[in-house]
Structure 1
């Protein structure tokens, strides 16, 4: 079950930890549809909900999912520790750094970091 919250006047859909694995564009579309229906501007998904392929950029899964969120004007937050993935991949580290510079996709450690980002 997902939970719609308001953080600094921004509606945020917090996805449940125990949901389906997210590993393809169609999974992203389901989340975007649900978030839109509930009036959310951002979708927050725990990192462990993503299929391992998401963190291997060569699979293009992350790019496809991020692009879908962008096409629908919906923000995406990957929440949690992804260091085990970034330690072995400079490409993923660069991708995360670039995403975090923008206003559409963020890789954040915790909800407190999300609160800080949404404050500005």
Structure 2
């Protein structure tokens, strides 16, 4: 399935193909942002496409990627099981907890959870 824009809870979401190219640089994140300018408000990226550095907060990569989305006024949803990363890092657990309480970046298990989150006001 190629990346596609779907409407979830009345919001245009760019749903990224799990088999798509990995996000390993900030330029890769900017490429997703550029694709979202076709009309999406949210970019849903499978966790499997994110480089391991994203989940190792000491690298700063997650912060760079998340900031790019905020700067361009797009929401980012990381979809999938990240329990292995959460088990290894209390800092990541804190980031995920705080991010999920806010409205710009969410870590969710799947598209159904994203749709439910979009239905709930932040």
Helix, strand or coil: the match of 1:43?
A: strand
Q: How far apart are the structure 2 equivalents of 1:104 and 1:10? A: 14
Q: In the alignment, which residue of structure 2 is the partner of 1:105?
A: 105
Q: In the alignment, which residue of structure 2 is the partner of 1:34?
A: 35
| 1:25 CA drift (Å) | 1.0
Is structure 2 residue 85 aligned with structure 1 residue 85?
A: yes
Structure 1: give runs of 5+ residues left out of the alignment: none
Helix, strand or coil: the match of 2:44?
A: strand
TM-score by length of 1: 0.97
Helix, strand or coil: the match of 2:88?
A: coil
| 1:17 CA drift (Å) | 0.8
Q: How far apart are the structure 1 equivalents of 2:39 and 2:106? A: 19
RMSD: 0.6
Helix, strand or coil: the match of 1:87?
A: helix
TM-score by length of 2: 0.95
TM alignment of 1:1-120, pairs within 5 A: 1-36=2-37, 38-120=38-120
Q: Would you say how many aligned residue pairs link Structure 1 and Structure 2?
A: 119
Q: How far apart are the structure 2 equivalents of 1:61 and 1:23? A: 9
Q: How far apart are the structure 2 equivalents of 1:56 and 1:24? A: 14
| 1:37-65 Cα shifts (integer Å, max 9, x gaps) | x2000000100000001000000000000
Structure 2: give runs of 5+ residues left out of the alignment: none
Q: How far apart are the structure 2 equivalents of 1:62 and 1:7? A: 25
